[in-house]
């Protein structure tokens, strides 16, 4: 118990420092464009002060996606039958369970931590080293993604400005610090990187396969969104933010939504359309959803 | 006699044409979602011609969704800056756009069913939670529906998929488009029109 608290405090310090440093860097070079002409509304706050740089990195990522990731994902799909790909997916998910367990515990979500432990033990044994997600498929306990960025969010650390990371994609200071610490703290990565084995290439292969696996699952969805979007960058930014917020709220079950942009909703104009109150409804929902921690 | 039968038949037919737009159980939000969800999954499935799918979706959207309210929400603060003509234009092209975007996404569905898991009161309406049960053994997708009472029944104001609000997503994207066009609503309207005209359904 004492150890856990120390760990939490330590992690909190590390993350707080990282966040402060990153935020300082970010806000240092941020210039907030203020185009206030009469007749033109104030801009929506996307919390994206680095938008110009982010969009350039986003474009670069799109090129990488089109020429490397998508072809690789398509080849992967063509080369292996679905059953094999599902096994790869289940295996990679199973490798995540120790960190998921740790994060759920750090968040105080002990039911999720228990589920993760059950999944890991049974899937690693009955499920042949994690190749078959027996617990998810027949035991009714699905895989629930979780990570250190979510833990920081649960602890009340703000997400900070939106960031697009080269190759990795959408993020923010909170999530990218979480990712960095997890890469360092991942038990499998440690085991194969000198304690006790020296297969330094394994984490990279795992990362690459994991990326291709993920990409192959969203080929159609992302292509659809890109094709129909008016501003793909803005859509992805909004989707990423909302998804992360939902995970921080622990919304794996059916909990009320908590949309992010509703603070900026102006009072509904009393004009034209009658009895349409959705902005009010959504922001009211948000007030009510503050205590949603399961 | 024949004449009377003919008149009755005509009357019944006319009723049939006039009535189906009324939801069957308007009083119960959960029933609204159950019937709409399953109808949508049925008539918009995989084996439907893309153009037909978009047309059907458009009809379902206009009948069951609070279209003017959603349009005003997604335009956010820019709604008040738009002229009444622009507002009407926006509603029209926005409806086309939504039909195009979401009809396409539903094209992937084939044999799925929708199950309502709960209803909770929301301020000024109700929030219905549901799951889309997939056929391939993958975990169900969670979809929440925000309903607002309107003209004796309920209309849908937002759809929240796995914690992601469709209304908020559109609103954020549209605001970005408008801002990048110097804060003018007309740019968004033009972009919507071009998108719906150029992007056929596949």
Instruction: Please check whether residue B187 touches A, CB under 8 A.
Output: no
Whether A40 and B182 lie within 8 Å, measured CB to CB: yes
When pLDDT is cut at 50, 70 and 90, the band that residue A127 belongs to is very high
When pLDDT is cut at 50, 70 and 90, the band that residue A274 belongs to is very low
Closest of A47, A6, A18 to residue A30, by C-alpha: A47
Residue B8, pLDDT score: 61
Whether A285 and B177 lie within 8 Å, measured CB to CB: no
Residue range A37-57, pLDDT digits in tens: 444 444 557 899 999 999 999
For A228-263, b where at least 16 C-beta lie within 10 A, e where not — what string? bbbbbbbbbbbbbbbbbbbbbbbbbebbbbbbbbbe
Instruction: Please check whether residue A254 touches B, CB under 8 A.
Output: yes
Handedness of CA A203, A207, A208, A210 (dihedral sign): positive
Query: Taking the complete model, does pTM exceed 0.95, yes or no?
Result: no
Whether B173 and A238 lie within 8 Å, measured CB to CB: yes
Gyration radius from chain B CA atoms: 19
Return the bridge partners of B148, or none.
Answer: B155
Q: Is the pLDDT of residue B80 over 90?
A: yes
Residue range A225-241, pLDDT digits in tens: 999 899 999 999 999 99
Whether A37 and B183 lie within 8 Å, measured CB to CB: yes
Residue A17, C-beta contacts closer than 8 angstroms, at least 6 positions apart: none
Q: Using CB atoms, which residue from A143, A261, A278 is nearest to B148?
A: A278
Instruction: Please check whether residue A32 touches B, CB under 8 A.
Output: no
Q: Which chain B residues are closer than 8 Å to A247 by Cβ?
A: 163
C-alpha span between B14 and B29 (Å, rounded): 28
Determine the distance from the C-alpha atom of residue A42 to the mean position of all C-alpha atoms in its chain, rounded to a whole number.
30
Q: Using CB atoms, which residue from B125, B179, B195 is nearest to A44?
A: B179
Q: Write down the mean pLDDT value for chain B.
A: 84
By C-alpha distance, the chain B residue nearest A254 is B129
Q: How many CB atoms lie within 10 A of CB A183?
A: 12
Interface of B with A in 109-148 (CB under 8 A): 117-118, 120, 122-125, 127, 129, 137, 139, 142, 144, 146, 148
Residue A252, pLDDT score: 61
Whether A276 and B79 lie within 8 Å, measured CB to CB: no
Any idea what the Cα angle at residue A191 is, between residues A187 and A193, rounded to 5°?
A: 115
* Higher pLDDT, residue B83 or A6: B83
When pLDDT is cut at 50, 70 and 90, the band that residue B48 belongs to is confident
Instruction: Please check whether residue A233 touches B, CB under 8 A.
Output: yes
Element (H, E) at B155: strand B153-161
When pLDDT is cut at 50, 70 and 90, the band that residue A130 belongs to is very high
Residue A294: strand, helix, or coil: coil
Residue A269, pLDDT score: 30
Which whole-number Å values give the CA distances from A163 to A14, A52, A176, in the listed order?
A: 20, 11, 9
For B3-38, b where at least 16 C-beta lie within 10 A, e where not — what string? eeeeeeeeeeeeeeeeeeeebeebebbbbbbbbbbe
Whether A278 and B167 lie within 8 Å, measured CB to CB: yes
Counting Cβ atoms within 10 Å, is residue B80 exposed (0-12), middle (13-18) or buried (19+)? Answer: middle
Residue B123, pLDDT score: 79
Mean pLDDT check: name the lowest of A139-143, A171-175, B71-75: A139-143
Q: Is the pLDDT of residue B68 over 80?
A: yes
When pLDDT is cut at 50, 70 and 90, the band that residue A111 belongs to is very high
Which residue out of A227, A230, A255, A264 would a mutagenesis test of the B interface target, given it has the greatest number of B Cβ atoms within 10 Å?
A230
Instruction: Please check whether residue B186 touches A, CB under 8 A.
Output: no
When pLDDT is cut at 50, 70 and 90, the band that residue A95 belongs to is very high
Residue A2, pLDDT score: 45
Any idea what the Cα angle at residue A185 is, between residues A183 and A187, rounded to 5°?
A: 100
Q: Is the pLDDT of residue B182 over 70?
A: yes
Which range has highest mean pLDDT (A154-163, B6-15, B120-129)?
A154-163
């Amino acid at each position: 118990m004492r150890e856990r608290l120390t760990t939490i405090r330590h992690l909190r310090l590390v993350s707080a420092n990282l966040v402060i440093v990153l935020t300082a860097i970010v806000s240092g070079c941020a210039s907030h464009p203020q185009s206030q002409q009469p007749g033109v509304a104030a801009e929506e706050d996307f919390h994206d002060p680095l938008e110009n740089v982010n969009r350039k990195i986003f474009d670069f990522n799109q090129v990488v996606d089109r020429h490397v990731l998508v072809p690789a994902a398509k080849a992967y799909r063509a080369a292996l039958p679905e059953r094999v790909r599902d096994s790869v997916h289940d295996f990679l998910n199973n490798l995540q369970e120790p960190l998921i367990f740790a994060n759920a515990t750090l968040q105080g979500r002990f039911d999720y931590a228990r589920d993760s432990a059950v999944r890991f033990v049974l899937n690693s044994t009955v499920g042949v080293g994690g190749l078959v997600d027996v617990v998810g498929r027949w035991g009714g306990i699905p895989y629930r993604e979780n990570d250190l960025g979510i833990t920081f969010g649960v602890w009340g650390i703000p997400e900070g400005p939106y960031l697009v990371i080269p190759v990795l994609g959408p993020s923010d200071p909170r999530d990218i610090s979480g990712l960095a610490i997890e890469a360092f703290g991942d038990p499998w990565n440690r085991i194969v990187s000198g304690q006790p084995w020296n297969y330094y290439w394994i984490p990279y292969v795992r990362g690459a396969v994991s990326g291709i696996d993920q990409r192959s699952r969203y080929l159609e969805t992302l292509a659809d969104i890109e094709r129909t979007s008016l501003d793909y960058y803005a859509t992805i930014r909004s989707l990423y933010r909302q998804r992360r917020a939902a995970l921080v709220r622990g919304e794996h079950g059916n909990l009320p939504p908590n949309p992010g942009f509703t603070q900026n909703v102006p009072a509904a104009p009393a004009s034209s359309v009658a009895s349409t109150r959705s902005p009010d409804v959504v922001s009211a929902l948000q007030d009510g959803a503050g205590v949603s921690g399961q | 006699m024949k004449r009377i039968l003919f008149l009755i038949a005509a009357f019944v037919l006319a009723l049939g044409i006039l009535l189906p737009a009324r939801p069957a159980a308007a009083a119960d939000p959960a029933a609204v979602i159950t019937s709409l969800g399953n109808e949508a999954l049925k008539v918009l499935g995989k084996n439907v011609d893309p153009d037909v799918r978009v047309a059907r979706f458009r009809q379902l959207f206009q009948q069951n969704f609070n279209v003017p309210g959603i349009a005003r929400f997604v335009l956010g603060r820019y709604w008040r800056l738009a002229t009444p003509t622009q507002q009407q234009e926006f509603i029209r092209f926005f409806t086309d756009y939504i039909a195009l975007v979401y009809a396409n996404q539903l094209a992937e569905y084939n044999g799925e069913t929708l199950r309502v898991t709960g209803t909770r009161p929301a301020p000024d309406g109700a929030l219905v939670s549901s799951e889309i049960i997939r056929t391939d053994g993958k975990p169900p997708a969670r979809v929440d529906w925000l309903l607002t009472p309107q003209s004796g029944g309920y209309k849908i104001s937002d759809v929240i998929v796995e914690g992601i609000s469709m209304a908020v997503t559109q609103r954020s994207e549209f605001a970005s488009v408008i801002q990048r066009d110097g804060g003018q609503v007309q740019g968004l309207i033009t972009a919507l029109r071009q998108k719906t005209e150029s992007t056929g359904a596949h």
